[in-house]
Amino acid sequence: MINIFEVNETNNMVEHENLDVRTITMGISLLDCIDSDLDRLNENIYRKITTKAKDLVKVGNEISKEIGIPIVHKRISVTPIGLIGAAACKKPEDFVTIAKTLDRAAKEVGVNFLGGFSALVSKGMTPAEELLIRSIPQALAETDVVCSSINVGSTKTGLNMDAVKLLGEKILETAELTKEQDGLGCAKLVVFCNAPDDNPFMAGAFHGVTEADAIINVGVSGPGVVKNALSKVRGENFEVLCETIKKTAFKITRVGQLVAQEASKRLGVPFGIIDLSLAPTPAVGDSVADILEEIGLERAGAPGTTAALALLNDQVKKGGVMASSYVGGLSGAFIPVSEDQGMIDAVKEGALCLEKLEAMTCVCSVGLDMIAIPGDTKATTISGIIADESAIGMINQKTTAVRVIPVIGKTVGDVVEFGGLLGYAPIMPVNQFSCDAFVNRGGRIPAPIHSFKN
Amino acid sequence: MKKTIITVVGKDTVGIIAKVCTYLAENQVNILDISQTIVQGYFNMMMIVDANQSEKKFADISEDLEKLGENIGVQIKVQSEDIFNAMHRI
């Protein structure tokens, strides 16, 4: 039988270490909404989302109350709109109407983000997908909760450099259109390589075409819990360190598994996956950078950071895998700068630069995330950053992503405030040397060889 | 049979257990196990109860006890046992 110490341990994690379930995300297929008439398509989409997800928020809150663990977000991901809108959309503005429908449906059911204004163009773009990408700045500026993601490359297909070039321009345009809010639109746009079909985390969530009609995916969290567990084994060797991370990750993941099973049962929607990610928030004590410091670094970014992050990421997966029947999504430590107080401090003190962050993305999930850059950064430079990050993913058979925010009218030394969970960020310097000729070549980078690994 | 875990944490004072137990008895909630310690001067109690015979819903019991806790200056949490089994048992 459960004893008082176990009960206290769990409740302490919630009250003092920010343990929570980060998100229940319902993936909804919109494939059966497709219509060549734009109005009918919009109507179908609205009806499907508001029917499937009508109880999502209520059930999430009920479960949270019963088990006593906060479930921070209830969200929706949908089939990439680049596919759904292909038959009906003839110009970028047509895609904007779909974005607005998604926004309206999300608000109706009460979720705080909806992902899937997406296109998967890792090898080539259909005319519709290109229109969708061209509609992104307006779509993100005129909606509140819609998130967009574009997959520009994969290990199997190589990198679509035409899409990379286009996205550099569109990111700048999005920043320009949302400059009153310090480029907030860009915080809702992720560029991926090897994007997973079942990611529950925003802004990169979409419901892949390999998925069922509707599915429940859950993202767990808990950097504060890991940090606290590690503070009890200070000075111990790596074996003890790794065992501690594994055991903690196991417990955190079990919470997610329980929530996913309950949500699936109550909503009558099959359980998809648990995403084993350490997702930080700007709250003090809920930081991945703090874990790195606890492992023994003065600041995130110091020599040893990549190794520390690699072991952290690996142990979280090792502990989490056994705790869940299905693991998927991104599964790893997130290192968003603006959403992690420890990362913000590291940048401010000069310990952490863009290049070190890039190295860190080789060993953890996702990539250059929530990084504010000067507003006068060239589109080709942004494309270059995307190409570098995508190449890391392509060669290493992992997911990588870029979510940078050019802040119009501000430069290095300034601080931007996004508010809420998106946090705030000091603007980071970007390498000033040009990559124009590289980005402007056009075409694609071939898929890498899958043998002769060195 | 699903069990419910009630935890009471706060400054020790006369009658905490009496008040919580009275409420449970009035609402047909059966107490299966009680353990109690004092941690750093704080009263710390855990009860395992069976609330299946109660006419009240889980959410109502949870809310009532939360309010009762506020009245006597302690924090009372009501949780399904599932969460603890999930975290602490393989």
How confident is the model over A189-214, as pLDDT tens digits? Answer: 999 999 999 999 999 999 999 999 99
Nearest CA to B86 out of A230, A229, A274 is that of A274
Residue B1 has pLDDT above 80, yes or no: no
Which residue of chain A comes nearest to B58, CA vs CA?
Answer: A66
Judged on CB neighbours under 10 Å (0-12, 13-18, 19+), B1 is exposed
**Neighboring chain A residues of B33 at a CB cutoff of 8 Å:** 1
Tell me how many domains chain B contains: 1
Residue A360 has pLDDT above 80, yes or no: yes
Q: Quick one: DSSP state of residue A31? A: G
How confident is the model over A62-91, as pLDDT tens digits? Answer: 999 999 999 999 999 999 999 999 999 999
Contact A1 B33 (CB under 8 A): yes
pLDDT band at A281 (very low <50, low <70, confident <90, very high): confident
Specify the CATH number for A22-193; select among 3.20.70.20, 3.40.640.10, 3.90.1640.30, 3.40.50.920: 3.20.70.20
A209 part of contact set with chain B, CB < 8 Å: no
Residue A454 has pLDDT above 70, yes or no: no
Whole-number mean pLDDT of chain A? 94
The ipTM estimated for the assembled molecules is 0.89
Which residue carries 């056994």 as its tokens? A322
Strand A146-154 and strand A158-160: pairing? antiparallel
A vs B: CB pairs below 8 A: 64
Distance (Å) of CA A86 to CA A124, A164, A339: 15, 21, 35
B1 part of contact set with chain A, CB < 8 Å: no
How confident is the model over A55-67, as pLDDT tens digits? Answer: 999 999 999 999 9
How confident is the model over A371-416, as pLDDT tens digits? Answer: 999 999 999 999 999 999 999 999 999 999 999 999 999 999 899 9
Q: Quote the pTM value.
A: 0.92
The CATH number covering residue B10 comes to 3.30.70.260
Residue A421 has pLDDT above 80, yes or no: no
| A48, A33 contact by CB (below 8 A) | yes
Q: Where are the domains positioned within chain A? A: 22-193, 219-445
Q: How many CB atoms lie within 10 A of CB A334?
A: 23
Closest-CA distance, A261 to chain B, in angstroms, reads: 11
CATH code assigned to A219-445:
3.20.70.20
Residue B66 has pLDDT above 90, yes or no: yes
**CB environment A100-116: b (16+ within 10 A), e (fewer):** ebbbbbbeebebbbbbb
**Neighboring chain A residues of B39 at a CB cutoff of 8 Å:** 8
Q: Mean pLDDT, to the nearest integer, of A252-261?
A: 93
**Percent of residues in chain A assigned helix, strand, coil, to nearest 5:** 45, 15, 35
CA angle A181, A187, A189 (to 5 degrees): 130
Rounded CA Rg of chain A? 21
A257 part of contact set with chain B, CB < 8 Å: yes
Residue A164 has pLDDT above 90, yes or no: yes
**Neighboring chain A residues of B37 at a CB cutoff of 8 Å:** 4
How confident is the model over A372-381, as pLDDT tens digits? Answer: 999 999 999 9
pLDDT band at A361 (very low <50, low <70, confident <90, very high): very high
Which residue carries 């998604």 as its tokens? A102
Contact residues for A121 (Cβ-Cβ < 8 A; gap 6+): A82, A129, A133, A150, A151, A152, A160, A163
Which residue carries 């009460």 as its tokens? A110
